[in-house]
Amino acid sequence: MSEHTHRQDSPVERITEAVVTEVGTVIVGKDALIRDVIAAFLSRGHVLFEDVPGLGKTMLAQSVAACLGLEYRRLQCTPDLLPGDITGGYMLNPETGQFELRRGPVFTNILLADEINRASPKTQSALLQAMQEGEVSIEGSTFQLPQPFFVMATQNPVEYEGTFPLPEAQLDRFIMKTGVGYPDRDEENRILRNRMNRKSDAVEISCAVAGHSLQDAFTEVESVHVSDDLSRYIVDLVAATRGDRGVAVGASPRGSLALLKLARARASQLGRDFVLPDDVTYFAQAALVHRIVLSPDLWTRPNAAERIVAQCMQSVPVPVSQS
């Protein structure tokens, strides 16, 4: 990799640090998480947060959208939510007597699907086409969504009453699944001090990114070099999940693509135009765990999928640079 270097002026680095600095004033002590969310965004993927209420998932989505200067909509998922409540539909305008398209909340740049597992499977499926293809179909017509389009969805891992588990096809659409985690005592005290200084629950986030910089960042991520050894390492790592005897269904090739894209985004964030094995292993858990279907005898074991991915990472040889 001697022909590849560290970038001197990286749009991805600038955007990541600007967002971390600005959003970090509100989401305290979660700089690594913010970087990971931006990596998923620059990979043109979507993020699933699974964590308990009250940890700032909604605030994180709002803050990232404001900092990037993008339109943001929130969708509160409930059992009676209908697909048309997401995509929109044609409604009669009494003044003109004509049917007009009323666009749903999916027509935005950043969509927060809050408590997505409370929506019915039929409603959850309305997001599938939007997440994968960036378009929706309404009464036989196809409409392109604004670009970039980024979904952040949340689900509560504790409460199961009145919920519908996400189907495997939809889980596979999320480039990564992660949690927020509790702050430590010092960080939680900073949250309290910040609230007292603001004198309001409302927070102000400034737009720190110019529109053209985003396109430059997307282009930069796509230009990151991945050696043949590393791409084969990704393939072998994902294939290892399919051969584990505790796994009924292993990660699909979409999992390999997710790991590739996240690794390239992380390399750009660190100022490199090439991927290292550390970039791959850093995102292996987040990119693969939710794509694994466990055998029935492991359903009741906590963190079984995480342990399987960790075993796969230990069993697959890491390529060594020959530069």
Domain shared by 259 and 125, yes or no: no
Q: What is the pLDDT of residue 33?
A: 94
Domain shared by 204 and 238, yes or no: no
User: Does residue 215 belong to any structural domain of this protein?
Assistant: no
pLDDT digits 0-9 by tens, 31-76: 999 999 999 999 999 999 988 888 888 889 889 988 998 999 999 9
Domain shared by 19 and 115, yes or no: yes
Report the number of distinct structural domains present in the chain: 2
Domain shared by 107 and 65, yes or no: yes
169: pLDDT strictly greater than 60: yes
Give the Cα separation of 284 and 287 in Å (integer). Answer: 5
pLDDT band at 106; cut points 50, 70, 90: very high
pLDDT digits 0-9 by tens, 276-289: 999 999 999 999 99
Q: What amino acid occupies position 234?
A: I
User: Does residue 217 belong to any structural domain of this protein?
Assistant: no
Domain shared by 205 and 256, yes or no: no
User: Does residue 219 belong to any structural domain of this protein?
Assistant: no
- The residue behind tokens 């086409």 is 129
Tokens of 121: 């499977």
Distance of CA 56 to the CA centre of its chain: 15
Domain shared by 169 and 293, yes or no: no
Domain shared by 118 and 265, yes or no: no
Provide mean pLDDT across the span 266-275: 93
Domain shared by 100 and 199, yes or no: yes
How would you write 257-306 as a 3-class SS string? Answer: HHHHHHHHHHHHHCCECECCHHHHHHHHHHHHHHHCEECHHHCCCCCHHH
CATH (domain of 309): 1.10.8.80
CATH (domain of 136): 3.40.50.300
Domain shared by 51 and 135, yes or no: yes
Domain shared by 87 and 195, yes or no: yes
Provide the residue range defining the domain that includes 47.
1-210
User: Does residue 216 belong to any structural domain of this protein?
Assistant: no
pTM of the model: 0.90
Which range, of 128-142, 152-166, 217-231, averages the lowest pLDDT? 152-166
Mean pLDDT for the chain?
88
Give the Cα separation of 9 and 292 in Å (integer). Answer: 38
Domain shared by 185 and 230, yes or no: no
Residue that is last in its domain, among 210, 245, 261: 210
User: Which residues 6+ apart lie within 8 Å of 285 measured at CB?
Assistant: 306, 309, 310
322: pLDDT strictly greater than 60: no
Cβ pair 130, 106 in contact under 8 A: yes
Give the Cα separation of 302 and 107 in Å (integer). Answer: 37
2: pLDDT strictly greater than 50: no
